[in-house]
Chains A and B, each alone.
Chain A
Amino acid sequence: MLKDITIGQYLARDSIIHALDARIKIIITTLLIIALFTIDSFVGFGFFLAFIFVIIFLAKISVAKVLRGLKPILILVLFTLLIHVFLTKGGQVLWSWKFISIESAGVYTGVFMVSRILILILFTSLLTLTTSPLQLTDGIEYILSPLKKVGVPASELSMMMTIALRFIPTLLEEADKIMKAQQARGADFESGNLIQRAKSLIPLLVPLFISAFRRADDLALAMESRCYRGGEGRTRLHELKYEYYDFIALLIVVILAVTVSFF
C-alpha cells in the first residue's frame, strides 16, 4: 500500500561524507559532472571510479545499495551499448555474418559511452544517498540566493519545497486512508483499462484535494499568526555552516577534476 513507500534514496549514516555541507556537495557534484565530459580516455574513468568507491567507503553505505539504484537505467544502458556495437563502423572487423558486422570502433565507443553514463549516474546518486532532501533544499536556497537581486524568490521557493517535504508523508497516509475507506464501500482502484482506472480515482481525488487545501489554509493561518513575512530576515533552527573539512573536500575535488581533464 501507499504507506510503505520510501520516498527518495537518502540513507542516514554518521559519516564524514554525510557531514559535509550540502552547498559544497552540490558544487562538487556539478564540478565533477563537468569534468567527466572533458575526459576522453578510460584512464580518466578509472580515476573517477576509484574516487566513487572511496566516497562509498567513507559514507559507510553498502556498494550493493548504490548499485541497486542503477537498475532502472539498465535498459537504456544496454540499448546504448548495442546500438553502438552494431551501428558504429570503423577499425577492425571483429565479427560478421551476412550483412551484420561488429567493428572495433563500435565496441570501443559503446563501452566508452556506457561507462560515462554509469559513472554520471553513480555520482549524482551519491549526492542524494548522502544528503537529505531538506539539506538539499537549504543548499539550493543558498546557491540561488545571488539571483534574489534579479527578482528570483529563492527563499520562497525553498519554503515551498520544505512545506512539500513536510506534507508528503501526511498526504500519503491520508490518501491511503481514503483509499481504504472507499474500498470498504466497494471502490476498485486496481483493475480495468486506463480510463476506467482514472475514473475509479475520482472518489479518492476529490476528498484528497479538499482536505489538502484545507490543510494549506490552516498552515497559512498558523504561519501568519507567527508573523511569517516572507524570506527576508527569516532565521532558522539549523544554520548551514562551512567547516574546515568542507574546504578540504572541495580542494580534493578541484585537484581531481583538473588532473583527469589531462587524460
Chain B
Amino acid sequence: MDNKISTRMMAEIGVAVALAVVLNFIKLWRMPQGGSVSLEMLPIFIVTFRWGIGAGMFSGLAYGLLQLMFGAYIIHPVQLILDYPLPYMILGIAGLFNIYKSGKISSVKLLGAVLTAGLARLVVHVLSGVIFFSSYAPEGQNVWIYSIIYNASFLIPTIIVNYLAVLIVIKALENNN
C-alpha cells in the first residue's frame, strides 16, 4: 500500500466510516433472522470511488473493526475475520473499475463496480455461514444452500439500494466540489 497517506484522505475516510455507522442505524428493512438492509456500504463505496481501492479497503477495515468493538458475535475465530473486517474490506475492489466514460460518471460502469464488490461481499458471508454450520451443525446438511439463500435474501436488495444511492450521492458530491 502507498506509504504516503494524505491527511485529507484520512480525515475523509474517518468521517465516511462514521457515516457508515450512522447509516447502519437507519434500517430500511429487517429480516426475522437478523440480516437487515441499510446503506452502511454507501460511504465505503464513495471513498473507494474518490480515492481508489486502497482507501476503500482501509475504510472497510476501519468500519469492520468498529463494528467489532461495538459488540460483536464471535463464535469462531475464522468467523470473526469473515464477518467483521473482510466483507467490508472487500468492497474496495469496486475501486478497480473505471467508472468514468468521457469525463462523466457512467451509471452502467458504476453498476458493474458496485455489483462486483457486492457479490464479493456475498461470497465472504456465504463462506462464513458455511464455516459456522460445519462447525456447529450435524454433518450431512446441505450447508451451502442454506447459507446462500440466507445471505442473498438480504444482500441482493442491499446491493440494489446501495447502487441507487451511490449513483445519486457521488454526482451530488462532484457537483459540489
Contact = CB atoms under 8 A, between A and B. Distances in A.
Contact of A2 (B25, B34, B62, B176): B25
Nearest to B18: A167
Interface in B41-91: 42-43, 46, 58-59, 61-63, 65-66, 69-75, 77
Interface string A119-138: 01100110010000100110
A224 B33 CA distance: 46
Contact of B12 (A170, A199, A201, A216): A216
B8 A157 contact: no
B126 interface: no
A88 B138 CA distance: 6
A194 B157 CA distance: 8
Interface stretch (A45-53, A93-101, A206-214, A235-243): A206-214
A8 interface: yes
A163 B18 contact: yes
B15 A113 contact: no
B7 A164 contact: no
A159 B14 contact: yes
A63 to B, nearest CB: 17
B10 A220 contact: yes
A228 B11 CA distance: 12
Nearest to B9: A220
A237 B79 CA distance: 35
Contacts of B100: none
Contacts of B29: 194, 197
Contact of A208 (B13, B19, B37, B58): B19
Given A84-B137, A120-B75, A125-B71, A216 B42 contact: no
A121 B14 contact: no
Contacts of B42: 205
B51 to A, nearest CB: 12
A153 B7 CA distance: 13
Contact of A210 (B8, B136, B157, B176): B176
Contacts of B22: 2, 168, 171-172, 175, 208
Contacts of B6: 220
Contact of B70 (A128, A160, A162, A197): A128
B141 interface: yes
A167 B17 CA distance: 9
Contacts of B8: 216-217, 220
B119 interface: no
B137 A151 contact: no
A212 B12 CA distance: 8
A195 B161 contact: yes
Given A87-B138, A117-B136, A157-B62, 8 more contacts: A75-B33, A120-B75, A162-B14, A167-B18, A194-B161, A202-B168, A213-B173, A220-B8
23 contacts: A33-B77, A34-B77, A83-B138, A117-B75, A120-B74, A124-B74, A128-B69, A137-B65, A153-B1, A157-B61, A157-B62, A159-B10, A161-B14, A164-B15, A164-B21, A164-B62, A164-B63, A170-B18, A194-B37, A209-B169, A209-B173, A213-B12, A230-B7
Interface of A: 2, 5, 7-9, 33-34, 37, 69, 72-73, 75-76, 80, 83-84, 87-88, 106, 109, 113, 117, 120-121, 124-125, 128, 133, 136-137, 140, 151-153, 156-157, 159-168, 170-172, 175, 189, 194-195, 197-199, 201-202, 205-206, 208-210, 212-213, 215-217, 219-220, 223-224, 228, 230
